[in-house]
Structures are given as C-alpha cells and as structure tokens.
Amino acid sequence: MRFGYFDDGTREYVIETPRTPYPWINYLGTEDFFSLISHTAGGYCFYRDARFRRILRYRYNNVPADAGGRYLYIRDGDDVWTPSWMPMKSELATYQCRHGLGTTRITGARNGVTAEMLFVVPLGETAEIQQLTLTNTSVHTKELRLFSFVEFCLWNAWDDQTNFQRNFSTGEVEVDGSLIIHKTEYRERRNHFAVFGVNAPVAGFDTDRETFLGLYNGFHEPEAVLEGSPRNSVASGWAPVGSHCLEVSLAPGESRQFVFVLGYVENPVDRKWESPGVVNKERARALMARFDSPQHVADAVAELRDYWSEMLGTYTLASPDERLDRMVNIWNPYQCMVTFNMSRSASYFESGIGRGMGFRDSNQDLLGFVHLVPERARQRIIDIASTQFADGSAYHQYQPLTKKGNHDIGSGFNDDPLWLIAGVAAYIKETGDFAILEEDVSFDNNPDDSASLFEHLKRSFHFTLSNLGPHGLPLIGRADWNDCLNLNCFSEAPDEPYQTTANREGRTAESLFIAGQFVHVAPDFAALADHMGFSDESAAALIHAQDMERAVLDHGWDGEWFLRAYDFFGNKVGSRECEEGRIFIESQGYCVMAGIGVDDGKALRALDAVKEHLDSGYGIVLNQPAYSRYHVELGEISSYPPGYKENAGIFCHNNPWVMIAETRVGRGDRAFEYYKKLAPAYLEEMSDVHRTEPYVYSQMVAGKDAIRHGEAKNSWLTGTAAWNYVAIAHHMLGVRPEFEGLRVSPCIGPEIPGFTVTRKCRGATYVIRVTNSLRHPEPRLAVNGEAIQGTLLPYAPVGTTVTVDCVT
Ligand code: GLC
Ligand code: GLC
C-alpha cells in the first residue's frame, strides 16, 4: 500500500494523507542550522549541535506520536483547524505534503480556505523560514485569525528534559512588535538568542505556554485560540513559547502571503545589550529584513534548488528503471548528505542528546558524499583525525559543537582507526588532493602533539598490527563495526552500558571483520605511502596484508564460510560448531570485498552460504540462527529479541558489503537482486508493512525470526545510505574514481540492459554509455571512439568532456 508518490520532476516525495504508518520526516538545512520536520509539521530545529543548541523543544516517544512542532492555527468563525492536520486533526478537504531537497511544503484546505506552508532553511542562513500562502477559495469574504505556535527549548536539550528544578525558573523572553525573542540564559554566559518574527503587524501574541494552552490542555486545545484572542502573555520561567496572532480578511479568490522567520542569532559579547536588560536585536532585524517578502523566499528556494542541481549533477544516471534512477540521482545522495551532516545524532529515533559524531560512522558517511562536497569532506577528515590518540586508537565519538572527543564513550572500538584510512583514501581518489596527507593534525585536539595526516593513517594501520590476538587476527576491543558484539564485556548487571563496560580485559577475543577490513584498506594505505615516498612502509603494508589474509584462511575459514570472531575463551563465534549464531554476514561481505578467497573458491562458497542461510524476502539478516537467550560472553547482540537489530535483524548497513562482494565475484545479477530488496523506492508499495519513509533507507528491518518481519526502524541516520550508494554507483553501475584514473567496470546483471552515467570528476565530465550485453568477461571500453586496454580511464584535462562507450 502506498501513501503518496514520487514526483521526480520536482525531486519531491508527495504524501497524500496525514495518516501515514509513521511520521515521515525531512531535514532542512545544509550547514549550520538544521530542522527536522515531519509531514504534519512536527519536529524541531537546532544550531550545529542538537544537544547544546536546541532551538525548539521536542518530546520523544510522546503521546500522541509526534506532538509538537511549528503549528499554525486558523480560526475561521468558531472553527479552528491546522493545515498540517496535527495537532487539531480537523478533517481536511485536501491535504498534501511535499518533502523535497531541503524544502517541505504542507498544504491543507478546509471550509473554502487553502493554507500552504513552505518550510526552508536558506543557504547561508541560520533560520527556518515558514511561508504561509492563504487563499480564500469560497464565494464569501473570510475574516480569519491566525495563531502561529512554537515551543522553545532552553538550549541544552538534555538539561531541558531533566533539570526541572532549575529550568522552570530560568525562561525569559522579550516581545518587540512582531518579534518574539527567546533569551533564556542570555543574561549570563550565552551570547545567542532565538527570534521568531513575522513580516506583518500582529494583533497580539503569547509567549507563556500555560497561558496560551491552559495547564491541562494539549496542543489540540489551545485556550487562547479556542477563545479567539491572544493574551499577550510574557513568559517568566516555566515554558516560553512563541505565538503571533494575525487578523486577515480575504475577499473571495484572494490570496495573501506571510513570512515567519525562526532564527538563531549570535551577538558579539561586548554588544549583547541594546540597553540594560534589553537584547541587541540588530542582527535579528537584519535577518527579518532579508526575508520580508515572498520574493526573497522564492529567491532562496531557487538558490537552494540550483545548489542541489549542481551538486547532484556530479553523478547522474539514465536507465530504463525509473526507481533506480530516482535512488541514484535524488534520494540516495540526499540521504547521504543528511547522514554526513547529522552522523547519528538527531532523527526521529536518535534524540540528539545521546550521540555526537561517530568516528567510524562519519568516515563511512563520507564515502557517499565526498564527490558532492569535497571541501567539506576535507574539513571533516581533519576534524575526525584531530580526535585520534597518538597510539592510533580513537575516540568513538566527538561532539560537533566543540569537535572534541567524547570522554563518556571513550575509545576501544578496534575497527575505528582503520575507517580513517578508508575515508581519506576515498577523498583523495575523488579529488587528487594528496596534499592533505601533509596537513599537520593534532592528536586528541592537543596542539602540542601533532603530526602529518599521513602519520595518523600510519598509526591507524599499525594500531591493528600492535593489537593482534593468539591467531594473528585483530583484537576486537569493546566491539568492532558491530557495536553489540561485546566479547570482553561480561555484563550481568542491568544498568551497565554494553559499549563501555569491560569486566574482563583480555587479549584474546579476535575479529574476522577487522581482519577483512585491514586487508581491504591495505592496498590504499600502501599506495598512499608510496605516494609520500615511503616505499618501505608501502611494501611492508602489503606483506602485512598477505600475512593477515593467511591468518584469515588458516584460522578464520569455517569450511563453508568465514568465522565471525574468537571470543574471550578462544571459542569460535559464527561457526557451524556453535549452537546459535552459526553464520554472520559481516565477515562474509568484508573478507570477500577484500578479495580473500576469490582465487580459490572460498569467496563464492561464503556468498552462497549467505544466500542460503541469511537471505530473506526483505534483505539479508545479520546472523543465523538468532540468539534465543542472553549469552554473557557475547554481550549486547544476544540482548535483543530474535530478529531485531544486531540479533538477526536485517541490519541494512552491511547488506551492500555483500552486494559489492557479489560484484567482486562477477555476479551482478545477485548484487542487484539484493539491492532491490532494500532500496526504498522499490518498497513503496509495501509502505504499510515497512512503515518508515519510502524515500530513505532505514537502519534496520525486522528479520525473519521476528513477528514483525519486514517492518523497518531507525530511518535516515545510518551507514546504509553511504554504503548502498557505493554499492550501486561504484560497483554495480561500476563508475568509481581511483588514484590514477576513473574505473568503468559495470556489473549489474541482465535486468538493466543499458544505461548512461554522466560523471564529473576532477574538473572533467565523462559521459559513459554502457551496453550491458554480458558477453565479455571484462568490459570493453572506447574513449572518444578509440578502443582502450583495460577499464581504467586516465583522468582527462579540466574542462574537457570525454565520451566513453562500454560494452560488457
Ligand atoms: C549503529 C552504529 C554503527 C554500528 C552499527 C552496528 O548503526 O551507528 O556505528 O556500526 O550500529 O552495530
Ligand atoms: C546499540 C545498538 C547499535 C548502536 C549502539 C550505539 O548497541 O544496537 O545499533 O550502534 O547502540 O551506541
């Protein structure tokens, strides 16, 4: 069942009913100011850091779901309704929500009035613009009263939801004409405030929640609105809100537009005040002036559209499959941008207070976005690397506002360091910017302890080598990619966090995943070392990789597939000898991606075992059989009921590793089959089962052991976005940058008989026409009409366009 449709022309998903199976959200903002907005206008916004600079309050796991957002109440006679359906839930004559690239448009109509709300965070601004277009479609004059509404968060979102003894007394606002200023804590150490303004005179306002709603009322029964008049309340402590009241008279057929601006403003410390106790509003006024007319909003929307067109023009696909085109051209890169910006911090499943930027996550997110914003990827790499420790290990997370490592989580996830090599290699392949390797980058943000970025990579690589276990395989530490495989944790106490508890500090538990990862990044590391002139380091890296491969084949092959790990006691994890958890996906995907067992048939066997034991109608599950009870020696993985999350859920992030592995052994048809099971555009028809947004990937789909098999959770912020992009764009469609040239090597099976990829890279444009006849073991390429040897195109001069014909 569908709840909307894709409008590829406008690059929007159009939701046709507010009763979607879950709130379907969008993200507004590109750099510093971000909004989460659901199809019923729920959600919140923040400046840079969802924990420390939260602008609107949002109550997670609320009843009803998704209550709280930016609402507009329309009072028409005695009737009160909201065009976003929530919170009034009055029946609407029409309803539509268009989530697009950085814009959301919600339109509702009732009793001969149509209200369209356009939400956008313009480029370069720290504000959410809410433009209302109100039209009288009836034959009578309409006398309407409008009440805007937002509820402010007292900045620190954690404190805001926990420290009530303090924060019920700190709230402060100022009202100046049509400007509502939220200035809690501005009197002391903050030099920022929020402004909520509108480009029209107001008939009144409210800023105190209790006065506006009534103490025992929900958002659907605001007393001020139901009684028809604002109370001009000025919040003092408790809960500051922003509500403007506008009086509008509309002749039949008449339309009017209003622009509301919800902004974040910082003042220089010495210019905080206009007069004692009165906020200096110069910058707020300037912001309002920039959006004082619909034309300015239209310009901002057009500018954003061009920004996206330009960016998405870096890689475009024309194929006979429109679902594939819309994934590759629009929605998958869009989600990659969001994961790049948010990491795992703020979504409808991540509260914005728990996690900052993941070391591992951010490096992987970069893989999906590096070609779109290389300069920002460069900065991101430096930020991440600056949190690394001198011994090569890494903080697991850092806070986006301070860019400092997060002490609460600390380090000890032994896969983390190697992801930095993958991220940097991807960046250099895309840009050719080898100079980044010579950048001076500190360790643990200590300016007195720094080294070149290359040295950081070297320490990453050697971190693995200095942390090998009894079988010569990498020690897992607290966990590897799978946060829930906690082999040193041994937790028996309910409140111990699995991720940071190590009740046994052993040097025995080993990871086949990290082994595969090591072999996978080694050639890139060696190439970079070579480039730096360190040929001994380079040669040694390749030998280390061979040794690791040997260790995998000698100690990590279970007969039909790769083991997953050795536990603390040296017992096998992911072996046919195990009672539960006999086979895992991660090591099959990563070891084969690394090329292990490709020559001797082991890779094929491992992938066939994945098909046989792990595949399901909705994707590949993480392990089988699911753990049916808690295994103290395995940790969190066995804490989940069978079929959910890391315990045999379809953990979508790792499925693309198997897709890429399938292309590695030449089975493009199987890779594409897996691809279609997960790609949201192919799941639109089963939205009632899947439940999350049909335009973005979710982290997890309930596996075959779960009662709710096929139901997705944790949409948006997941490495699934970047990795699926890499799988389809680089490996199935087969166009990917390498250090020395652009590789063209499609492997997608017969379902896509031909396609054209237009790829911009390092200043040149490549128009690649593929005839996918599947007749040649190696694709045959002609460049500007001339056949070439092999599948690597040398990079063309800046400004040129190269036509490539490729026949498979
Ligand atoms: C979550 C984490 C990621 C981890 C994965 C598997 O998605 O963000 O870092 O690799 O779970 O546990
Ligand atoms: C839990 C989740 C995992 C996530 C981790 C983050 O372990 O199962 O997916 O990566 O928390 O801390």
| Nearest one of 292, 331, 204 to 695, comparing CA atoms | 331
- Distance from C-alpha of 109 to C-alpha of 18, rounded to nearest angstrom: 13
pLDDT tens digits along 141-194: 999 999 999 999 999 999 999 999 999 999 999 999 999 999 999 999 999 999
pLDDT tens digits along 341-366: 999 999 999 999 987 899 999 999 99
Average pLDDT over the chain, rounded to an integer: 97
pLDDT tens digits along 574-628: 999 999 999 999 999 999 999 999 999 999 999 999 999 999 999 999 999 999 9
pLDDT tens digits along 83-113: 999 999 999 999 999 999 999 999 999 999 9
- Distance from C-alpha of 742 to C-alpha of 736, rounded to nearest angstrom: 6
- Distance from C-alpha of 521 to C-alpha of 557, rounded to nearest angstrom: 20
Greatest Cα pair distance, the chain, in angstroms, is 84
Active-site choice (160, 208, 480, 483): 483
Which ligand number lies closest to the CA of residue 339?
1
Q: What Å distances lie between residue 355 and 44, 53, 350, CA to CA?
A: 17, 14, 8
| Ligand 1 binding residues, C-beta < 6 A | 344, 358, 360-361, 481-484, 646, 653, 699, 718
CA of 642 to the centre of ligand 1 (A): 18
Q: What Å distances lie between residue 626 and 492, 646, 720, 763, CA to CA?
A: 20, 9, 22, 49
Q: How far is CA 669 from the centre of its chain?
A: 28
| Nearest one of 374, 460, 466 to 422, comparing CA atoms | 460
Rounded mean pLDDT, 534-553? 98
CA of 481 to the centre of ligand 1 (A): 6
**DSSP 8-class letter at 248:** E
Q: Which atom of ligand 1 is nearest to the CA of 344?
A: 8
pTM: 0.97
- Distance from C-alpha of 94 to C-alpha of 9, rounded to nearest angstrom: 22
Place of tokens 């690059």: 11
CA of 629 to the centre of ligand 2 (A): 19
User: Is the shortest distance between the CB of 499 and ligand 2 below 6 Å?
Assistant: yes
Q: What Å distances lie between residue 196 and 128, 130, 156, 244, CA to CA?
A: 10, 10, 19, 9
- Asked if pLDDT for residue 506 goes beyond 90, the answer is no
**What is the pLDDT, as a whole number, of residue 65?**
97
The distance in angstroms from the start CA to the end CA of the chain is 37
Is 483 a residue of the active site? Answer: yes
**What is the pLDDT, as a whole number, of residue 788?**
97
Share of the chain above pLDDT 70, in %: 100
Q: Residue 705 pairs with which residues in a beta bridge? A: none
pLDDT tens digits along 755-806: 999 999 999 999 999 999 999 989 999 999 999 999 999 999 999 999 999 9
User: Is the shortest distance between the CB of 662 and ligand 2 below 6 Å?
Assistant: no
- Distance from C-alpha of 743 to C-alpha of 745, rounded to nearest angstrom: 6
What is the best residue among 344, 360, 483, 640 to mutate for testing ligand 2's pocket, by most ligand atoms within 8 Å of CB? Answer: 483
**What is the pLDDT, as a whole number, of residue 355?**
79
CA of 358 to the centre of ligand 1 (A): 9
Instruction: Sort strands 801-807 and 764-771 into parallel, antiparallel or unpaired.
Output: parallel
Q: Which atom of ligand 2 is nearest to the CA of 498?
A: 7
User: Is the shortest distance between the CB of 483 and ligand 2 below 6 Å?
Assistant: yes
**DSSP 8-class letter at 259:** E
CA of 675 to the centre of ligand 1 (A): 20
User: Is the shortest distance between the CB of 484 and ligand 2 below 6 Å?
Assistant: yes
Res. 399 pLDDT band, cuts 50 70 90: confident
CB 159 within 8 A of CB 165: no
What is the best residue among 357, 483, 485, 637 to mutate for testing ligand 1's pocket, by most ligand atoms within 8 Å of CB? Answer: 483
**What is the pLDDT, as a whole number, of residue 505?**
80
Place of tokens 């303090």: 166
